[in-house]
């Protein structure tokens, strides 16, 4: 594990000591090299996972998420080159350092053996993200977006800290492996209900659950492109990952306590998808679509069946790549017209045919077209929800329909039709941008062939 | 022709060109039409001036589009005033479906659980869940 963490940490001196014209290429190339090291963790040979040391443990659930984190850093760097180029060199290096610190904190988060270590790193990832959103966002609303982001997450996670400390004192250890073997049964009592809520609320807010999702559209819209990418792709999945890890100690109370959250997820799925149909802001549409997909993941984790966990892990990875791709595409729009309004730049298929291909593929994977991995995730979750209760098919089916509607709406509004006549300043697609999209699409396509890497630990 | 064969339908209203009353308008409607047309013509002139300007480097900024996008996204809450009717509507729309679906799922699952405990539910082929 150190062979992944120490190179990631060493990217920091690399940024600060590189000469100004070599910073981007150095950091991007070296972060790609770290990817080759991390791919070895995907080789999960047995169901017990890789117990690497006393602090780090990678099981098939963590390995796909760690791979996503490490894959995303060079992509974030590629995406940020344009909007950062006007800043001073010191600011450029500071921005890159924030991204590197975020990755260095996220890798141990997903491989932490102890839940307390996981919690500390979970909280620590908030700081670089807050700095990225509030310092390098584009509109004045970024300040309130940062506040919402920080305080929504903190309100949930302080009770989590107290819950973890109390479980530690009663069980003796918070080791994730030992917890699976312990006999910690939560009986029906008021304090156990509050303990369940305290454990789960932090991750529900992070995912986000429909009732407490208000921070997400603000944070995603106001963040710069790398901030949006890391938020949509990884930080939301921290919630799912935490819920999956903690659910081993929260039985059997989950059977009764999960109902309100399953209701909120199922209804919230439809509500947020419907809001997507009425959005005028492109990034806001993609942000609400993230809420909708993650509501499926929450519902799947709450019902705790093998297939639903497989679907949840698959959907987390698939959605991470797809959402990040859509945000990058929206950013290519924004860099040209400096506005996020969808109807301002229409008919882009005529102007940017190759980028239109990536818009097309991104929208298709967003609406969970077979045989993409998004479909695998959504299908497994739908089937397991159907076996939980037959009536969920009404809600999940409606959501699949509305997801298809807004994905195609976004595609048709931006790509099809006649080009807006007065848009004469549209620079052609940079090779960097096309590379970025290709690097998103390649894992999405290759994982279609062998999705067992992303199916999580109940495979 | 004064007697056109075109009859208006609920979803297909009579176009103004087929309406014989188009030329018998009152003075106020005519004045309002002239005012709207003059605003449109002024905006169109500004647009065309910018559109055909050979030194233009960027797209034409439409203030109306920016105001519309702002009004739809950020300016909703400042123009909202809570009244009993819309507070009640908000509570019903927010919590009503949740409570409804909670009862649907709870009764369905309890019914299934009772069938299972009585042994009446056929789960022979239920291999994957």
The predicted-structure confidence for B56-71, as pLDDT tens digits, reads as follows 988 898 899 999 999 9
Which pLDDT does position A431 carry in this prediction?
95
**Domain closes at, from A70, A89, A113:** A113
B74 contacts A141? CB cut-off 8 A: yes
Specify if A89 maps to a domain: yes
- Do A151 and A12 fall into the same domain? no
**Domain closes at, from A98, A113, A128:** A113
Chain B nearest CA to A267, separation (Å): 7
Set of chain A residues whose Cβ sits within 8 Å of the Cβ of B127: none
Higher pLDDT, A393 or B126: A393
Pairwise CA distance, residues A374 & A418, whole Å: 31
- Do A421 and A324 fall into the same domain? yes
Query: Rg of the Cα trace of chain A?
Result: 21
pTM over 0.90: yes
Pairwise CA distance, residues A195 & A404, whole Å: 38
Specify if A32 maps to a domain: yes
A263 contacts B101? CB cut-off 8 A: yes
- Do A70 and A119 fall into the same domain? no
Which pLDDT does position A179 carry in this prediction?
85
- Do A256 and A366 fall into the same domain? yes
Specify if A458 maps to a domain: no
Complex ipTM > 0.95: no
The phi, psi pair for A196, rounded to 5°, reads -60, -45
Specify if A363 maps to a domain: yes
Which pLDDT does position B19 carry in this prediction?
77
Structure token digits, residue A182: 């312990």
A399 to chain B, any CB pair closer than 8 A? The answer is no
A422 contacts B50? CB cut-off 8 A: yes
Pairwise CA distance, residues A314 & A317, whole Å: 5
Specify if A417 maps to a domain: yes
Q: Is A58 helix (H, G, I), strand (E, B) or coil?
A: strand
- Do A99 and A193 fall into the same domain? no
- Do A188 and A227 fall into the same domain? yes
Q: Is the dihedral of CA A130, A134, A138, A140 positive or negative?
A: positive
A341 contacts B69? CB cut-off 8 A: yes
Q: Please choose, from the candidates A124, A145, A249, the residue with its C-alpha nearest in 3D space to the C-alpha of residue A198.
A: A249
- Do A13 and A159 fall into the same domain? no
A84 to chain B, any CB pair closer than 8 A? The answer is no
Specify if A97 maps to a domain: yes
Q: Is A281 helix (H, G, I), strand (E, B) or coil?
A: strand
Chain B residue with Cα closest to A284: B73
Cβ contacts of residue A371 below 8 Å, gap of 6+? Answer: A448
Of A263, A390, A395, the CB nearest to B102: A263
Set of chain A residues whose Cβ sits within 8 Å of the Cβ of B68: 280
Chain B nearest CA to A149, separation (Å): 17
Q: What is the mean pLDDT of each run of 10 residues along chain A (459 residues)?
A: 90 94 94 89 75 85 92 94 90 95 94 92 94 90 92 94 92 85 83 92 93 92 93 93 89 85 94 93 94 95 92 95 96 91 89 94 94 94 93 95 96 91 89 95 93 84
**Domain closes at, from A76, A92, A113:** A113
- Do A72 and A129 fall into the same domain? no
Chain A nearest CA to B10, separation (Å): 26
Residues 232-261 of A with CB under 8 A from B: 259-260
Chain B residue with Cα closest to A278: B72
- Do A106 and A126 fall into the same domain? no
Set of chain B residues whose Cβ sits within 8 Å of the Cβ of A420: 59
- Give the domain extent around A382: 114-453
Q: What is the mean pLDDT of chain B?
A: 88
Which pLDDT does position A286 carry in this prediction?
95
- Do A172 and A314 fall into the same domain? yes
Specify if A197 maps to a domain: yes
- Do A89 and A135 fall into the same domain? no
Set of chain A residues whose Cβ sits within 8 Å of the Cβ of B60: 422
Lowest mean pLDDT among A139-143, B14-18, B43-47: B14-18
Position B24 confidence tier, pLDDT thresholds 50, 70, 90: confident
Q: What is the 8-class DSSP label of residue A429?
A: P
Interface test with A, best of B67, B78, B128 (most A CBs within 10 A): B128
- Do A357 and A383 fall into the same domain? yes
B118: number of Cβ within 10 Å: 8
Q: What is the 8-class DSSP label of residue A112?
A: B
Total structural domains within chain A? 2
Specify if A459 maps to a domain: no
A266 contacts B101? CB cut-off 8 A: yes
């Amino acid at each position: 594990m150190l062979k992944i963490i120490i190179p990631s940490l060493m990217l920091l001196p690399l940024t600060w000591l590189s000469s100004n014209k070599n910073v981007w290429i150095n950091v991007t190339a070296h972060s790609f090299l770290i990817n080759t090291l991390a791919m070895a963790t995907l080789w999960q040979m047995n169901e017990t996972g890789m117990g690497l040391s006393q602090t780090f443990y990678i099981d098939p659930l963590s390995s796909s998420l760690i791979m996503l984190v490490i894959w995303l850093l060079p992509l974030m760097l590629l995406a940020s080159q344009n909007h950062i180029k006007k800043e001073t060199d010191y600011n450029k290096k500071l921005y890159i350092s924030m991204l590197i610190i975020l990755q260095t904190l996220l890798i141990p988060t997903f491989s932490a053996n102890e839940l307390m270590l996981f919690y500390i790193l979970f909280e620590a990832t908030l700081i670089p993200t807050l700095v990225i959103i509030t310092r390098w966002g584009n509109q004045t609303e970024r300040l309130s977006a940062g506040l919402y982001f920080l305080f929504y997450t903190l309100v949930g996670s302080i009770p989590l800290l107290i819950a973890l400390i109390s479980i530690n004192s009663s069980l003796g250890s918070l080791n994730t492996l030992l917890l699976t073997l312990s006999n910690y049964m939560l009986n029906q009592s008021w304090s156990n209900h509050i303990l369940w809520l305290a454990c789960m609320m932090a991750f529900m807010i992070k995912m986000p659950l429909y009732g407490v999702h208000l921070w997400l559209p603000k944070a995603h819209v106001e963040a710069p492109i790398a901030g949006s990418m890391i938020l949509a792709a990884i930080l939301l999945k921290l919630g799912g990952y935490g819920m999956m890890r903690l659910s081993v100690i929260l039985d059997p109370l989950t059977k009764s306590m999960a109902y309100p959250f399953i209701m909120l997820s199922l209804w919230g799925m439809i509500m947020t998808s419907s809001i997507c149909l009425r959005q005028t802001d492109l990034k806001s549409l993609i942000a609400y679509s993230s809420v909708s997909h993650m509501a499926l993941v929450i519902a799947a984790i709450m019902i705790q069946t093998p297939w639903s966990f497989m679907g949840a892990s698959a959907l987390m990875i698939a959605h991470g790549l797809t959402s990040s791709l859509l945000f990058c595409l929206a950013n290519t729009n924004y860099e040209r017209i400096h506005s996020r309004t969808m109807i301002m730049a229409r008919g882009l298929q005529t102007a940017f045919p190759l980028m239109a291909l990536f818009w097309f593929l991104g929208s298709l994977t967003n609406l969970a077209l077979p045989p993409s991995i998004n479909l695998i995730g959504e299908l497994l979750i739908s089937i397991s929800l159907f076996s939980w209760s037959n009536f969920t098919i009404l809600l999940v089916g409606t959501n699949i329909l509305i997801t298809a509607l807004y994905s195609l709406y976004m595609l048709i509004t931006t790509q099809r039709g006649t080009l807006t006549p007065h848009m004469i300043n549209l620079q052609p697609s940079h090779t960097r941008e096309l590379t970025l999209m290709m690097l998103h699409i390649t894992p999405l396509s290759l994982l279609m062939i062998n999705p067992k890497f992303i199916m999580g630990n109940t495979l | 022709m004064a007697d056109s064969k075109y009859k208006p339908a609920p979803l297909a209203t009579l176009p103004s060109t087929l309406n014989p009353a188009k030329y018998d308008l009152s003075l106020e409607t005519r004045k309002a039409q002239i005012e709207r047309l003059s605003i449109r013509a002024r905006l169109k002139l500004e647009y065309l001036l910018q559109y055909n300007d050979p030194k233009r480097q960027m797209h034409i900024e439409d203030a109306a589009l920016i105001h519309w996008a702002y009004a739809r996204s950020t300016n909703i809450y400042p123009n909202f005033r809570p009244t009993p009717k819309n507070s009640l509507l908000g509570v019903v729309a927010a919590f009503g479906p949740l409570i409804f679906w909670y009862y649907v799922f709870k009764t369905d699952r309890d019914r299934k659980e009772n069938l299972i405990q009585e042994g009446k539910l056929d789960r022979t082929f239920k291999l994957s869940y």
